[in-house]
Structures are given as structure tokens and as C-alpha cells.
Structure 1
Amino acid sequence: MRLLDKAKFLALFAWRSALRHRRRSLLVISTATVGMTGVLFSMGFSNGMVDSMIRGGVESGMGHVQIRPAGFEKERKIDRRLKNSSSLLERIEGLNMPPELSPTHVAPRFEREGLLRIGSYQEGVVITGIDPEKEKSVSSFDDWIIEGSYLPSRQEEDSTGIIPCLIGAVNANRMEVELDDYVILTLGNHASESVSIRARIVGIFQSPMTGVDRHTVLVHRSALSELYREGSSQTSNITLLTTGLAASAKLDQFLESQLLQPETATTRNDIVADDDFEILSFFQLQPQIETMLNYIDDIKGIIYGVLMSGFALTLLNSVLMSVFERTREIGIQMAIGTRKGFIVVSIILESVILAMAGAITGFVIGGGLVVSLSITGIPLGSFAGGVEMIGSMSTIVYPRITMDDIALGFYVAIGMSILASIYPAYKATHIQPVEAIGGRH
């Protein structure tokens, strides 16, 4: 009980010291509030950027796992095609998925680099052949349609020799085209010859990503396959969408165990070479996002420290001035036998009280700001060019903070307050009682 009484007295003493100069304490608390608000906003924005890139990649058809021709991860050439894709697709669709991976949706795609042309205008695009009904389960293009409709059934267009297509709103505006207008799609066929086909715009989509709008044209996979090689059915990749990003690695491992043949090879690379395909998880497809996630985790503490450094300097000045003004009081305390440890702890507690008051206020204001922006979003339309360079990132970012961010903020605030109180505490313990009481300080 005696120890508890001492703790209460120490806390009360530190609290009274913190409130002795209210204007100065208010300045310290305000500085901490601004710093913590900035910290929460910066971390929320960083998290929102990563979320936007992940969501954009998944919704644009990247899925959680893709099966690609062997060597894609290293070379990143989308023109490669899967061999025996029909039988491979049947094997995947026939798998009995574990409960934690159910449901898992599967869709094939055939991608070719080409040109979208009308008159003198042309744009480099990825002409993507899809199976419309299956594609709906792995991407959001059907939800992004703002004019017209999704791709109709292939049979409706066979007799005309003109294929239907979907283009992005960015290209529609630049080319000044509307629904039912015609464009020319040009690509290289199996013999490396340039071939073109006339396509009718049946729908215009507007995705959250400018790059996807500008560089994606959707057609039927069967039509694109015939254009590439008559009478063929081609597939560049098979996309799988499971219960969530967290299950991406599990799905990758499950597919490897079911589709690859470990008895014929000793390493994963050997297995891929034998089967002529490789299974890639989301972060293998988008390594830059994983790099950004690791980078943000690594620098969170640094960001907190930099943004809170102004608060630390203000706190140092405030506590140091408090010590100087209380020199006589501290001298009397030491003269009557107060231990130096008590003085040191009281000064540290004073700093911590001021820091925590500012941190809590900052969390309320900063947290409220982030929550508000997480609903309305932060539009980045003015930076569309830079956002497009990032790739799958949306032009609207929705900030998000985690409990880990909040906990780290508290730790940094406490750490900064302790560091800022070390020098004032050192000065206080070196006060000479006789000189302090006599006023010769």
C-alpha cells in the first residue's frame, strides 16, 4: 500500500507540474496534436494507396492467382500462350477446393498487344479476349459499363464479320466515338504478320484506373483466337479469384500440389519447365505492391519520428523552462532529503502526461479525419498522369488506419516524451540545494 501511495503522490505531483503553466502546456499539447494528426493522415493515405493498387489489380482481372506460360514471371511477355489450355482449364475446374478456398472462380483470357485505330488516331492497347460469363466472376468490367452493354453472345456477330468490343471511357472521349461506331483493331498473328479487324463498340466502361481505361480493349476470346490463328482456341492465362487476398498464397500452394508433378522434378523450376506453365500468386504478379508494403512497414517508425520531432523539441523546451523556473523548489526538495530518482521520475511523468494529452487529442482529430476521408475518398484526378504510371492504382484513394498504426503512434509519443525529458531531468539532479535556495542559480 505504501508503494501505491507513493505512485499516486508522484502522479499527482507530475500532473500539477504539467498544469502549472497552462499556456506553455497548451502549446506542447497543440504541437503533439498537430504532429499526431499528420502521422495518422500520412499512414492512412499510404495504406489507402496500397489498398487501391491491390483492389485495382484484382478488379481489373488479375485475380488472386494466375496460371501463366513458363517464364512469365521472369520475362513478363503477355504474348506467350498456354499449351493444352483446354485440358488444363478442365483440370482446374474439376478440382475439389478446400473449404477455406471456396468459392474459387476461374476464367481464361487471351491477351495480345495491338493498336486501337480510328482515322488518324491510334493507341497502343492490350486486346484482351474473354469468355464474358466466366469473366464476370473474376473482374468488374461488367459493373464498370457506363454506356451500352456487356459483350453479347458471339453467335450474334458471326455473319457480319465484325466483332463486338468494349473500350474505356478515356479512349472513347479522345477518339470522339460513341456506341455502335466502328474501330480497327490491329495485332500480330501466329505467323508474325500484322492483321486487322473491324470492331463495333457495344459498350464503354469506366474503371477507377486511368491506365486500365486507356490500354484495355475487350473482345471475345474465340474471336481473338480466330484472328490470331484460324480455327484455334488460344489462352494466355487462367485467372482464379478466391475468398480474399489472404488466401492467395494458400491457393497457389494448393494448385501446385494438384497440378504440378513433383515426382518428375527436384526443384520448382524443373516442375514448371516440364509442365510448361507456372502458378503465380498476386504478389508474384505485382511484386511492386509487396515491395511498397514492406517499405511502408519499414519506414513507419521513421515517419512517426520525423513528424513528431517538432513536438519533441517543443516539449524539451517546455520541460527545461519548467525546471529552471522551479530551481528553488527543487533545491528545497533535495535539501529535505528527496531522492534524485523521485525528481527524475516526476519530470519524465510530466513529459509523458503532456505527450499523451496531445497524442490522444491527435488521435481523435486525426482518426476522425481519416474515417471521414475513408468514406468520401481523396480524388487524385489532378495527378492522373502520375497515377497512371503507378499502374492499377485508382484515381480515388480511401485512407485506412489500423490498430497497429495507432499503437505505434502511442509508442512513439511515449518514447519522444521520455527522450525529451532526459536532459531537463539531468539538469534538475545537478542543482546545488544551497545555491538554489539562496537564489544563486
Structure 2
Amino acid sequence: MSSKTLAGIPSHITHVLKIFNKVSNAKVSLADDRVRNYLIESSSDYRNAIRDKILTCMRKGLPYKPNELAPYINDNLQALFSGDINSDPLENISTRSIFDLKDKKDLIQEDQTQITSTQNRSIKKYTDHQANLIRSFSSYYSPLRKVPNEQSFTNSFKWYVRLLEKTPVVFFLKVTNRLFSDYSIAELNKPVSDFREELSKLQKKHISDVSSKTKSTRSYYFTELLNPDLFSLAIKGQSAFKGTADFERALSSLSWEELNNQRDALCDILSSKREIKLVNRQLEPVNVDPRQFVRELPLKDLFLQLDSLSVNEVLPYDIIYDDLYILTIESSIIDQNHDVVMKLLEAYRADLQLIAVRLSLDSPAIIDFLNSQKPSSGVPKKHFKSSYEELLSIAKTNHMANSDDKHYKFANVMKKIGELGLHRVNYGTSNNCIYISGR
């Protein structure tokens, strides 16, 4: 986690996140890979822990406690504590003496070759959930105005551009969370997990239904939109990458100032639909002075209290925040029936709010659908009113009778989108897509 990422979050919000990390780590510590490794007897971490325990007993003269080690280890190690051990002379030298070896040069090897690794490694400070939370908060408080010169950001930006280029339909969903809820502390989001599980069943069913030659075909894809700010930059800059194989060169040629001055309806929606609010115990928004907030709630005192009290008893605040997710319909199945996934969106609408849909005009299937009523009209232009009904009427009249008609299938998707509360239509800034959103 970059220090720049943390620096973009207000100090009082960062303060609360540190408390969350403490509470969450206590709750899910066994889910951490490093901690789990200490409990696996065949792991190197476990062996190192046992070795450290034995050496500590030997050097400090502490009593040997058989109940702290497995029985078979006791049997093998009992001999170590039954008599004197002739250890290396250096083992009996204090740390202070090691650095003052005027009379002990014979104990030091002449070879001074560095034995430590030159690779820059650090202990993982945050779980994946905590890191994603920090990244999401940073994108809200300090949205990126250009792609940072870091490979992880470049890779994410490239993935977003390819997503916009190749995906005919993208649904944008909002999930509202409370930071110190029981599920959140346990790093769980039950509605999202349940939705993902149901969608996984659809994906597996699709794979089992298609021929063996196309079993790798993707159907639906669901993931969290961790960097809405980076995604917005991809929306505004996507035209620069169309038809080019040299992604890095196209990226370096972008004018970030011009991109940031552009307006795009979907970017505005993603920005306006997200909120992060500090609230009191009654879940009412509160305004605080960041410096005073940090002074009045010192972490050291809070952490001591958390040993015996719940976080709700210790901290009179919480954070209500929104996460964004995307659900795609891939081009390989765009002509199929999507009633099941639309019913799934409807079933989870209370927890996963649909806020916008993007229809790509680079998709032949979408163009065919939009032109189905007037085939001679060509590619749709900016003559649409801000009305969902106009889009729906394109296919409704001619394709409602035959349920096997591909236009009927997508017309039903459009109908369900309206039933989920989206009626406003806008063009994308690159003129290659249509957005449907709520009012």
C-alpha cells in the first residue's frame, strides 16, 4: 500500500480506519496466511517458531514446558535438556561483546560477503479487504487526475479500457456499508457474496450448456470497481486507444488536462452516487475538526480499551460508505436470453442498487437492436430524447410476439432496466455508447 494512497484520505477518516484494522485483525487473524502458517506443523513458519521457543529456553535458562510442544517433538527434544550442550563459542557471547571482539578475531570468518537479500521486501501490513477499502476511500477523497507511473495502476487502466472496448453491456451497482458492522469487521459482505454465488451458478450452467469447443466462453462477469477515478479517466480517454496496438505510446500521448475538463454523464453518475459519511451512534452524519478528533481519541488508549470492550462501546462514531460494482454481459452471449440474470438483479435490488447501464455502440448486436425498427436509419445519432421509453419502443412493437427473436430477448432486458428505476438516456463523451440511469 503506497503512502500516497493513505495521504489522500483525511486524517480523522484514516484514524477510524486504523481502529477498524485493529478490530478486524483481531476478528479474522486466523484468515491471514502468515498467522495460519504458524499453525501448520509442516510449514517453515511453524518450525521457526518452535526453534525460537527452544533457543529462548536454552539461552535464558527458562524451564522446559512439554505441554507447549507436540508429543513427538517432546520425545525428540528431551535429550536437549538432559545435559550440557556444547554450542558454538559465539552462542555464549553477549550482543555487546560481539561488537567488541578485539581478542576474539579467531571466532570471526574473514569472508565478509553480504548474506542478506538485496531484494526489497516488507511484511504485508493490510489484508486484501483493508487495502481495497483504503484504495476506495482514497479514490473518493483524492481522485486521480492522471494515471500514476506505477505498473499496478497502468494495468488497471488498461483493463478498464479493454472492458469499455469489448463489452456490450455493463451494469453499475452500488452497495452501502457500515464500517463497524459485524459482517464488515469479519471482512464479509453477505449480499454481495450471495449474489456472486448465484451468478456463479449461472456461469457454470452456461459452461455446461455450450459445446465442448467453447467451454472457455465467458458469460457474465461481476467484480468490485475499486478505482472509479481511474475508470473515469479510461472512459474519457478510451478513443485514443481504439485500433492501436501500442498501448504505452497511446497512454503517453494523452493530455490529462483536456481529459479532466471533459464531462461525461457516467463519470458524473459514479461520482455523485458515492458517499463516505462519518456518523454518530444514531447513524446521523456529523462534522468534526480532524485534528481535534485525532487528539481526543488517541489510538493507544483506544487499543487498550478494545482488549475488554467492543468497538461500539469504545468509539462513538462509525462510517457509512458506498462501494461500486460492475456486472457485464459478454459479447459471446449478448443474443441469448438474460431473464435469469435480470431477475437476480431484481431480487437483490434492496442491497445492490442498479445506478446505471452502459450500452456499447461498438457492439454489432447493440447497433442491430437499436436499428431494428428502422433498419435504414443507420447508426443511432444524438437525436434520442432523455427517455427510456424511446429506446424500448425501438424493439417493442415488432418483436414482442416471438419469444425466440433475439431482439425480443434484448427488448426484455431493456424493459427490466426500466422496472429497476432507470429511465434517463445520455450519450457517452466518446460517442460510442449510451448510458441509461436514474433521475
TM-score bracket for this pair, using the shorter chain length: under 0.3
TM-score in terms of structure 1 length: 0.21
Higher percent of residues as strand: 1
Structure of greater relative contact order (alpha carbons < 8 Å, 6+ residues apart): 1
Higher percent of residues as helix: 1
